[in-house]
Homo-oligomer: A and B are copies of this chain.
Amino acid sequence: MDHLIEKTINTRDIYKGKIIDLQIEDVLLPDGGKSTREIVRHPGAVAVIAVTEDKKALMVRQYRKALGKVITEIPAGKLEKGEDPLESAKRELLEETGYTCREMKKIASFYTSPGFADEIITVYFTDSLIYKGEQNTDEDEFIDVLELTAAEISELIEKEEIHDAKTMYAAMYLQMKYDR
């Protein structure tokens, strides 16, 4: 696939933030031409499709400043430095919802915006939840926990309150898994 590859000539660091960094890369194109690529560096993320005994999905409702609105998503968060993704997924589930679980398995991973960001999200599934108690979020995180039926998930997709890639993926996964 060498006829597709771009080589980096120069990298400029534009910004180093608490969650993302921004770099501009000057690249040599496959035909010898030149271009620039704007690249957001991200530590990676995890998300959990968590299903209760009565087949409801655990979701979190939060305000997203980038969108300027409240949306409902599956529990998720970014990887801490050096953290194993499975441990990260269990930590985020507990922090955001107050649930831990007996078993959790990886079902998929995907890049969220391959055109400009290296963020990769690993998605886990669990249906062996154990309630531990109150959520314990970061000090700048404000989250409502919801338990949604299949019909409620469809309704929130219709209303565009469920409106992000990982949760739309999760909704379809649940639909296929439980044939609903």
CA distance A1 to B146 in the complex (A): 13
Give the secondary structure class of A's interface.
mixed
Per the 8 Å Cβ criterion, residues 104-162 of A in contact with B are 108-119, 121, 139-140, 142-144, 160
Point out the residues of chain B lying under 8 angstroms from A5, CB to CB.
63, 70
With A4-B144, A33-B139, A109-B163 given, can you name 13 additional A-B contacts, CB distance below 8 Å?
A: A3-B142, A4-B62, A4-B63, A6-B65, A14-B15, A29-B140, A39-B65, A42-B116, A66-B116, A67-B114, A112-B113, A168-B169, A175-B176
**What are 28 inter-chain pairs, A to B, with CB distance below 8 A?**
A4-B63, A4-B142, A4-B143, A14-B22, A18-B36, A19-B38, A30-B142, A31-B142, A33-B139, A37-B65, A64-B111, A64-B114, A64-B115, A66-B117, A67-B111, A78-B115, A108-B168, A109-B163, A110-B164, A110-B165, A113-B113, A113-B164, A113-B165, A117-B117, A121-B165, A165-B169, A168-B169, A169-B169
